[in-house]
């Protein structure tokens, strides 16, 4: 062993130790190695930083943006809602469909993001059907990990292994090269989870932390159910063709138009909004039933049913917030009419609370006082804009539903079309994969699916830095003879045992190493070793590279093996032993299946 190799292996051991104890953060460890390796002389500064210009690194970043577009537009959530409707109360059907949907979506976007999306969906389904969350969430995480075995872009280790093949002068894997292995593993995983979920018991989930009051709670607290009405403008109505400004509904009869439903789209009314026959109005009116009937007759509108869950059902379009009047607010001492509140802020006040009790009666004529709490309603954009009026209004309570509001509603079709185009371009090979992904990002931006700020925010920079920081190890180990040494060491132990034993051993080493460090870092380290072993055996490098990629996604064994597992620990109320009990047997089964399947489909 040369001194240069000893230094590189020492740095590698230090990196693995820091990864294992998680101190410092993984991306910080990668940065330390990025700085340290050029100082050893085993790589140049340009080689150490080359990862930032690597096409696969740019591709990974672009895929984060595309995946975020599916989240922002509600594509993933609609899949979850469809799943809940189709599965019904059958737990078997629910587990099967959940794993199929999660794996299908995870094949084209981050498995961590898919898990984060579907955890609340699974919890909602568990609550409505009475199923135990612990019997749903581990199948969810398992299928998310298996999704990494479906396509080239499904997980970072696949791209790392493919990049290593290209670095050795070989063709990388094509888009669906992993699918012949992932599909049978998914089928096996579904069957296994239907059996293994009984080991997870019927433990209840840890109570979900409250992100804020529910809109339904405000409806009850401010007594809105008795004041809100839903009416339809008929063809004989005197309102047809007239604007709010002309009708002066608030001044003449105390009617506040909160929203207009027109052609299944919810509109925010303004002073210049003209009413049409067939418009459905959500109005706020403090009146007795007889007075309300008289007003309906006066304006020629028909009453429609309004359920208690109306505001919750329309929480994507209609927002609510509680705001407080500070001492220096210009609204203090004024009425809502005097302050022209709706015109100034684009919101309507539908409740006022003074102290602990809501004010009952005509709020428009009530003089506002310091410390009054106003319940406002209107578009989420206008509610967010209240932050710029901090001297006059302080937003102090936002509903829990705000966390589920889609940033780009109505853009789901565009997002799906962009995704389909990217997949077609990648599969056809008309352009390089990175160009296809970047084109998809540009189209999503141009079509309003995402924007630059959201795009940069969606990229998991920790993952990017981790990969870039660890890539120089591959060059350093090859240049100092470390890869050959590892390959020779492995061959000396198992070289005469046959190709199946060698493949199984590489799988086992990769999977075990992935229990302690990132599966991406594991792929960076093991891919060159596997390719070197193939060269020593005079075999094709493709089955050896594929076995590393598949093993890197076999992170079922501990809750810290992957962020996917970590996300379900708390909501599923899992213990460390639950993952060991369920994950280890399945990992062994997957290893045996891959050891048999890989050399059959990718001949040695």
Q: How far apart are CA 26 and CA 22, in angstroms?
A: 7
The whole-number pLDDT of residue 209 equals: 46
Distance between CA atoms of 419 and 443, rounded to whole angstroms? 10
d(CA 442, CA 309): 39
DSSP letter string over 370-400?
Answer: TT-EEEEEE-HHHHHHGGGGTTT-EEEE--G
* Residue carrying the six token digits 């009990």: 581
Task: Tell me the average confidence (pLDDT) per consecutive run of 10 residues in the chain, 604 residues long.
Answer: 84 80 80 91 88 80 82 76 74 88 83 72 72 85 92 85 88 89 94 86 50 73 78 90 86 82 78 89 83 89 75 70 89 88 84 83 82 87 80 83 70 88 82 88 92 86 79 78 72 73 89 74 83 87 93 82 74 80 91 93 84
Instruction: Evaluate whether 113 touches 154 at the Cβ level (below 8 Å).
Output: no
271 close to 244: Cβ distance less than 8 angstroms: yes
Q: Which fold has domain 319-398?
A: Alpha-Beta Plaits (3.30.70)
Nearest-5° Cα angle at 226, 220 to 230: 110
pLDDT for position 212: 66
The torsion region of residue 445 among left (phi > 0), alpha (psi -120 to 50) and beta comes to alpha
* pLDDT, position 205: 43
Q: How many helices (H) and strands (E) does the chain have?
A: 27, 10
Q: What is the pLDDT of residue 404?
A: 67
CA distance 214 to 216: 5
Q: 364 with 371: CB under 8 angstroms? A: no
pLDDT of residue 312: 62
Q: Could you tell me which of 463, 460, 477, 512 has the C-alpha nearest to residue 30?
A: 463
Query: Sheet containing 256-262: which strands, arranged edge to edge?
Result: 265-267, 256-262, 280-284, 228-233, 301-304
Which among 446, 544, 445, 450 is positioned nearest to 490, based on CA atoms? 544
Omega into 24 within 30° of 0, i.e. cis?
Answer: yes
Please give the CATH number for the structural domain made up of 215-313.
Answer: 3.30.70.1450
**Cα-Cα end-to-end distance for the chain:** 31
Q: How far is residue 337's CA from residue 578's CA, in Å, rounded to a whole number?
A: 61
| Alpha carbon distance 230, 23 (integer Å) | 58
| pTM, entire model | 0.66
| Domains in the chain: boundaries | 74-200, 215-313, 319-398
The b/e string for 369-395 (b: 16+ C-beta within 10 A; e otherwise) is eeebbbbbbbbbebbeebeebeebbbb
Tell me whether domains 215-313 and 319-398 share a fold: yes
């Amino acid at each position: 062993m040369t001194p240069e190799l000893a230094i590189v292996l020492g740095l590698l051991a230090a990196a693995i130790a820091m990864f294992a104890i998680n101190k410092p953060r993984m991306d910080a460890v990668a940065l330390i190695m990025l700085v340290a390796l050029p100082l050893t002389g085993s790589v140049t500064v340009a080689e150490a930083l080359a990862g930032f210009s690597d096409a696969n690194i740019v591709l990974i970043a672009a895929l984060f943006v595309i995946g975020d577009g599916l989240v922002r537009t509600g594509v993933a959530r609609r899949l979850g809602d469809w799943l809940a409707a189709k599965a019904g109360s059958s737990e078997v059907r629910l587990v099967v469909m959940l794993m199929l949907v999660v794996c299908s979506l995870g094949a084209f976007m981050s498995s961590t993001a898919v898990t984060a999306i579907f955890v609340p969906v699974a919890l909602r389904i568990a609550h409505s059907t009475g199923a135990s969350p612990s019997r749903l969430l581990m199948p969810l995480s398992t299928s998310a990990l298996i999704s990494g075995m479906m396509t080239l872009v499904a997980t970072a280790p696949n791209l790392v292994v493919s990049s290593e093949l290209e670095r050795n002068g070989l063709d990388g894997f094509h888009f669906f090269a992993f699918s012949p292995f992932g599909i049978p593993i998914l089928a096996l995983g579904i069957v296994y989870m239907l059996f293994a979920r009984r080991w997870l018991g019927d433990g209840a989930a840890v109570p979900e932390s409250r992100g804020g009051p529910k809109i339904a709670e405000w409806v009850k607290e401010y007594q809105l159910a008795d004041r809100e009405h839903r009416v339809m403008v008929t063809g004989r109505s005197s309102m047809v063709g007239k604007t709010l400004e002309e009708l002066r509904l608030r001044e003449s009869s105390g009617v506040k138009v909160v929203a207009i439903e027109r052609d299944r789209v919810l509109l925010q009314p303004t002073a210049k909004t003209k009413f049409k026959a067939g418009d459905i109005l959500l109005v706020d009116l403090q009146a007795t039933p007889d007075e309300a009937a008289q007003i309906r007759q006066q304006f020629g509108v028909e009453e429609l049913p309004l359920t208690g869950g109306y505001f919750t059902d329309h929480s994507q379009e209609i927002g609510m917030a509680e705001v407080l009047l500070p001492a220096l607010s210009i609204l203090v001492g004024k009425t809502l009419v005097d302050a022209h509140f709706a015109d100034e802020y684009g919101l309507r006040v539908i409740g006022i609370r003074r102290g602990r009790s809501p004010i009952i009666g005509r709020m428009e004529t009530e003089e506002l006082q310091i410390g009054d709490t106003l319940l406002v309603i209107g578009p989420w954009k206008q509610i967010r804009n209240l932050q710029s009026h901090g001297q006059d209004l302080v937003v102090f309570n936002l509903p829990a539903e705000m966390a589920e509001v889609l940033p780009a509603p109505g853009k789901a079709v565009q997002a799906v079309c962009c995704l389909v185009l990217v997949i077609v371009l990648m599969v056809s090979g008309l352009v390089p994969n990175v160009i296809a992904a970047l084109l998809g990002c540009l189209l999503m931006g141009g079509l309003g699916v995402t924007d630059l700020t959201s795009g940069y925010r969606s990229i998991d920079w920790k993952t990017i830095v981790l990969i870039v920081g660890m890539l120089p190890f591959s060059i350093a180990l090859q240049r100092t003879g470390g890869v050959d040494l590892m390959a020779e060491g492995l061959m000396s132990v198992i070289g005469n045992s046959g190709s199946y034993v060698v493949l199984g051993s590489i799988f086992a080493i990769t999977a075990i190493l992935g229990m302690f460090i990132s599966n991406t870092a594991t792929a960076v380290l093991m891919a060159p070793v596997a390719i070197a072993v193939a060269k020593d055996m005079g075999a094709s490098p493709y089955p050896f590279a594929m076995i590393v990629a598949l093993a890197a996604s076999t992170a079922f064994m501990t809750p810290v093996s992957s962020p996917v597992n970590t996300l379900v620990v708390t909501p599923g109320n899992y213990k460390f032993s639950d993952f060991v009990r369920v994950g280890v047997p399945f990992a062994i089964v997957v290893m045996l299946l891959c050891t048999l399947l890989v050399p059959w489909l990718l001949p040695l």
